[in-house]
Amino acid sequence: MGQEIDNTRFTPRDAERFRELVTQETRLAREMARQGHFESGEPMAGFEIEAWLVTPDELPASLNERFLARFDDPMATPELASFNVELNTEVHPLRERVLSALHQEIRTTWERACDTAESLDAHFLMMGILPTLMPGDLCLDNMSAMKRYRALNRQVFQSREGRPVHLDINGREHLVHDHKDVMLEAATTSFQIHLQTPLEVAHRVYNAAIAVSAPMVALSANAPYLFGKDLWEETRIPVFEQAVEVGGFQDAARGPMRRVSFGSGYARESIMECFQENLDHFPPLLPMCGDTPPEAFSHLRLHNGTIWRWNRPLIGFGASGRPHIRIEHRVMPAGPTLTDSIANAAFFYGLVEDLVSSAGGAEALLDFATAKDNFYLAARHGLEAHLHWNSKDRISARELILKDLLPRARRGLQHLGVAQADAHHYLEVVAERVQARATASHWQRAWVKAHGRDMAGLTRAYRLHQMTDEPVHQWPLP
């Protein structure tokens, strides 16, 4: 969804023509994959952070157009809401001092973003859901000024025959809310890890990313509140799944396939199965037809951008001009600090590498249905969730991470050739956070317990701690 479009209204012929082009490009991608025309170099790392602009009173500040003009950096882009911005990193070979290099790069960008926000009498913030956000903030007046977002809103509600989005989340409390546009999606912001991988193992990397989604959510939870309600440890998950509920074609075996989902299963033999599934089961949502050559995969990529698997394969292009595959791991919230974010990325990269390198891969440890069940349990209960992992017995996410997954992550980073000092430093951040049960959701709830539901006060205290870049397990409890 990063690319802009020219139109905001489409005809049935547009949809028909778009589907023809996606069919052509999907066939070409499979053929190019068979012929070895995709990049097959070493793994590459990068990520994107979705952030909030907030007023001095810690409320959403709808000024991303002014912010981006003043920031003037191609690595920063608008998001759906005019109070959100996305920051990206360059891609780096996944070896040696890559973790500290990414940390330094994003810290430099982040500090300049904070300075730019301050020059506009605002603040910059990483948080899964902004505690001060209210339903009235999520309106079309606060939508970013890009055609693709207007078109997305129109197409989603046309598909829904005008029915409002119905949000219904049972957590520690119960939230029911109806919304008449796609802006509900803007309630959530994430830290999205990208892993570029050789095509021949991309399906195994994809499966490993699926398998580790539950522990990743458990250790990174940072979104307990929405509209003043105390809900899941990681409330982003049900919010995003319900916010863009369109569905795909009815499938006799699997029922209606949802555009925001955990996916339909592991890839069996090739990552290209995911792009074929996109074609077979999802009608075009933004059927913008262009005249680009098929080998640019423009229509395939636009279509893929309107299907939000929590682990999403992407086709991109590097300096060589050859296409590559990368896996976008979307399950984690933004924040609480850059240090925590890099630590989470280190854990993910190492753990995925270890699973891919193991006999049978992630698929040998747990089946897809179990991975999916684990994911929603972890989103609801965090580190206290009891998960299945390579046995019939359940184990707490906390114990699983400390006893099994951290050693795997260390082994995986070593196998990749990541510097030992880097690997140790960032994985220790994860270990200490999990040992102390000190996620950002835990810290937010502790603050509210001490001070009551002063959401502006919570946001301010959180933001001031974030500015230190001290990992969340070192933040003093209120």
User: Tell me, what amino acid is at 128?
Assistant: G
Query: How far is it, in rounded angstroms, from Cα 118 to Cα 268?
Result: 49
DSSP string across 368-396? HHHHHHHHHHHHHHGGG-EEE-SSSSEEE
pTM of the model: 0.96
User: Where does residue 96 fall: left (phi above 0), alpha (psi -120 to 50 degrees), or beta otherwise?
Assistant: left
DSSP string across 155-221? HHHHHTTTPPEEEEEESSSEEEEEESSGGGGGG--EEEEEEEE-HHHHHHHHHHHHHTHHHHHHHH-
pLDDT computed for residue 254 by the predictor:
38
Please name which of 85, 355, 316, 314 lies closest in space to residue 210, comparing C-alpha atoms: 355
Tokens encoding 419: 């510097």
Query: How far is it, in rounded angstroms, from Cα 342 to Cα 328?
Result: 15
Tens digit of pLDDT at every position of the chain (478 positions): 445 455 667 899 999 999 999 999 999 999 999 999 999 999 999 999 999 999 999 999 999 999 999 999 999 999 999 999 999 999 999 999 999 999 999 999 999 999 999 999 999 999 999 999 999 999 999 999 888 898 889 888 888 888 999 999 999 999 999 999 999 999 999 999 999 999 999 999 999 999 999 999 999 999 999 999 999 999 999 999 999 877 444 333 334 578 999 999 999 999 999 999 999 999 999 999 999 999 999 999 999 999 999 999 999 998 889 999 999 999 999 999 999 999 999 999 999 999 999 999 999 999 999 999 999 999 999 999 999 998 778 999 999 999 999 999 999 999 999 999 999 999 999 999 999 999 999 999 999 999 999 999 999 999 999 999 999 999 998 7
Name the strand (E) or helix (H) holding 78.
strand 76-78
Cα distance from N-terminal residue to C-terminal residue, the chain? 40
Strand partners, 187: none
Q: Quick one: 402 exposed, middle or buried, by C-beta within 10 A (0-12, 13-18, 19+)?
A: middle
Q: Quick one: 124 exposed, middle or buried, by C-beta within 10 A (0-12, 13-18, 19+)?
A: buried
User: Where does residue 382 fall: left (phi above 0), alpha (psi -120 to 50 degrees), or beta otherwise?
Assistant: left
Query: How far is it, in rounded angstroms, from Cα 41 to Cα 202?
Result: 12
Using the CB atoms, write b or e for 149-178: b if 16+ within 10 Å. Answer: bbbbbbbbbebeeeeebebebebeeebebe
How many residues appear in the chain? Answer: 478
